[in-house]
């Protein structure tokens, strides 16, 4: 199974997915980022992963940004597109062209807290549990069919950072595993 990983930030999930190739039966044929400063870029170079960078800031017209992404996907022809901390919303044309083939990981127990600042929102709401969700991407943000969820307890002294770190550790374990189970 051939996958492309999309990322925008520190890239811990990207790293775990790349490392997961030694354990699971999938191949990372490329990575893509919209952020030329993204932490995961160096890791791609070290592991000789083909990397495409398209800085969204260079495209005022988001249609053209989306067209560039679409052209890259057409060229690479992956079985699945794996969003791993990718912080741009993909346009409807990409989502419909790749329906059923785009997967995301979102740091909340969806349907709770779609969108941003999930850890803060869980804390502010006084939630006792929090977690992460792997799901298919549809045109409605963070609403696609759920593949897997994992839950953690929120402890009294937790803050946004401790929650983020604990959740990322779980994500780094479960994302490669769930990717390996996807059926083409």
Residues that bind ligand GRF (CB under 6 A): 7, 9-14, 84-85, 105-107, 132, 167-168, 171
Catalytic choice (47, 56, 70, 106): 106
| Nearest-approach distance from CB 11 to ligand GRF, in angstroms | 5
| Nearest-approach distance from CB 164 to ligand GRF, in angstroms | 7
Residue 70, C-beta contacts closer than 8 angstroms, at least 6 positions apart: 93, 94, 97
User: Residue 67 or 149: which CB sits closer to ligand GRF?
Assistant: 149
User: Residue 67 or 87: which CB sits closer to ligand GRF?
Assistant: 87
| Nearest-approach distance from CB 168 to ligand GRF, in angstroms | 5
User: Residue 101 or 132: which CB sits closer to ligand GRF?
Assistant: 132
CB-closest chain residue to ligand GRF: 85
User: Residue 67 or 112: which CB sits closer to ligand GRF?
Assistant: 112
106 is catalytic: yes
| Nearest-approach distance from CB 25 to ligand GRF, in angstroms | 22
Just list the catalytic residues: 106
């Amino acid at each position: 199974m051939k996958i492309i990983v999309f990322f925008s930030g520190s890239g811990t999930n990207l790293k775990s997915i790349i490392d997961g190739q030694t354990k699971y039966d999938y191949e990372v044929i490329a990575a893509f980022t919209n952020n030329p400063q993204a932490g995961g870029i160096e890791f791609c170079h070290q592991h000789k992963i083909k990397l495409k960078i398209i800085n969204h800031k260079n495209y005022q017209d988001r249609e053209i940004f989306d067209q560039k992404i679409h052209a890259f996907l057409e060229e690479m022809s992956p079985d699945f597109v794996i969003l791993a901390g990718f912080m741009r919303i993909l346009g409807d044309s990409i989502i419909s062209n790749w329906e059923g083939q785009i997967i995301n990981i979102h740091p909340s127990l969806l349907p709770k807290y779609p969108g941003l600042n999930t850890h803060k929102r869980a804390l502010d709401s006084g939630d006792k549990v929090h977690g992460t969700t792997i799901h298919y991407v549809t045109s409605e943000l963070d609403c696609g069919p759920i593949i897997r969820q994992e839950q953690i307890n929120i402890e009294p002294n937790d803050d946004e950072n401790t929650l983020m770190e604990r959740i990322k550790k779980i994500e780094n374990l479960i994302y490669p595993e769930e990717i390996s189970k996807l059926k083409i």
